[in-house]
Copies of this chain bind each other. A is one copy, B any other.
Amino acid sequence: MQVINLDEYAQFREDGYNLRLLHDSPNWRIMNFNFEAGQELPVHSHDVESEVMILVLTGEGYFTGGESEIEAKSGSMLISKVDEPHGIKATTRMRVLVAIAPPI
């Protein structure tokens, strides 16, 4: 059993999002991405059979990759196959939880 306090991972970078690895196992990888306003995880996809979950913890932005951008704020959750285009961009300082099962 491992208990993490996500507040301790709230570090940001001026040159791009700050990716913090929280957990990695054969079942999944769990990460925290921290964005300054204007930063983004560009739309991308991987040609593998996994799924990704992106949960906005704090802040605001948009989910990208679909036919239109979708507003994302605390409590907004994207679930997608990783072989479908997905991304997120921040309009305020934003923290998100990202999990990929199985890890890629």
Contact = CB atoms under 8 A, between A and B. Distances in A.
Determine the main DSSP class of A at the interface with B: strand
A24 to B, nearest CB: 11
Contact of A27 (B1, B25, B30, B51): B51
A76 B4 contact: yes
Determine how many copies of this chain the complex contains.
Answer: 2
A86 B3 CA distance: 11
Given A25-B51, A99-B53, A2 B75 contact: no
Interface in A10-58: 22-23, 25, 27-28, 30, 50-51, 53, 55, 57
Nearest to A55: B97
B79 A51 contact: no
Contact of A3 (B51, B57, B76, B102): B76
B76 A1 contact: no
A83 to B, nearest CB: 11
Contacts of A6: 55, 75-77
A75 B7 CA distance: 6
